[in-house]
Chain A
Amino acid sequence: MTNTPKNSGFARVGIVAAAWLLIVVVTNLVMAEQKQSTSKEDISSAAFLKVYKVLQHPRCMNCHPAGHIPLQGDNSVAHNMRVKGGKDGKGIPGMKCMTCHQTQNVTGKRTPPGAPNWHLPHPDMPLVFQGKTPAELAKQLKDPKTNGNKTLEQILHHVSHDPLVLWGWKPGEGRTAPSISHKEFVKQMKIWIDNGAVVPK
């Protein structure tokens, strides 16, 4: 068959149409990719803000103070008796955390709460919650140099299983628990990590 002017015109239109289609498809794919990555960041950031609220609750923050004296109560005042974390975060000889804090809560109001291994973070790496913004806290949590040499998986394991963390949701009479359940807290922590452990802006 000979290539008539009419056939040549059809071919040119076909090529242009195919090119246009290709451009549209590629553009949509790129936009979709960009949209997905933006929303992943948003998901991670939003999850961390829920985690942050829990970490700022007195049950968590009281043992992650800015100084070497733990906090106490729902109003997070400095622990009475001048209690100090000491060289290992477990108190000083004669005045250890375990001097008063046993492995379980004592019945009644204004009695010492208890859970296994009651302690503050090690003073060499205090992992401070008190006074930190969401961004500051997220950075601290992500960095092994400031989070107790932990990977994010280990952080997730810590908040999922450590009896001292779990105690926060069974704090005994006269003490409030965080506003979301432990299950939801762990879920949000996992979402934050799985979506890039984004530092909120």
Chain B
Amino acid sequence: MVQLKINQKKYEIEADKSMPLLWALRDKVGLNGTKFGCGVAQCGACTVHVDGEAVRSCVTPISAVEGKEITTIEGLSPDLSHPLQQAWIAEDVPQCGYCQSGQIMSAAVLLKHNDQPTDEDINDVMTGNICRCGTYNRIRRAIHQAAKTVRKQKEDNS
């Protein structure tokens, strides 16, 4: 039995401790927003947050994340109100959509640390997330737009 804290909720999972987190999320907990792409941390589709940092869940054994805060795309905001989700909708970013939850989760870590990213900053982080539809230009535009929203929210709250 492994205890995991996912999106602020505790789960007890009957599984071998070597099970990849992605399997536990999708098959044991039923959170299907995180996608299986390559299975070897090469595409980024399975990106989730562990203690606030981006992690490829396909290569992360559940033993490594016991007692840690796991956040999936479903937990990024309760109502699609995260600036990135809003920007993604406004820019109509997805084509097939398969990689998009991973893209958004990586971008969310970037914006948390840098609310004024340059194209270079965006490329440095997002290069680990592959989009076979080639939506990279729209992804970059959406991140810039979300960054503006984050800055405005900070100004409004200060």
Contact = CB atoms under 8 A, between A and B. Distances in A.
Contacts of A104: 61
Contacts of B64: 102-103
Contacts of B110: 93-94
A39 interface: no
Nearest to B58: A106
Interface residues of A, number: 20
Given A94-B109, A106-B59, A100 B53 contact: no
B134 to A, nearest CB: 17
Interface in B4-18: none
B127 interface: yes
Contacts, number: 64
Contact of B53 (A93, A102, A110): A93
A95 interface: yes
Q: Is the interface of A mostly helix, strand, loop or mixed?
A: loop
- Size class of the B contact interface (CB-based, 8 Å): 20 to 34
A109 to B, nearest CB: 9
Nearest to A112: B41
B114 interface: yes
B59 A94 contact: no
Most chain B C-beta atoms within 10 Å of own C-beta, residue among A99, A103, A106:
A99
Contacts of A95: 54, 106, 124-125, 127-128
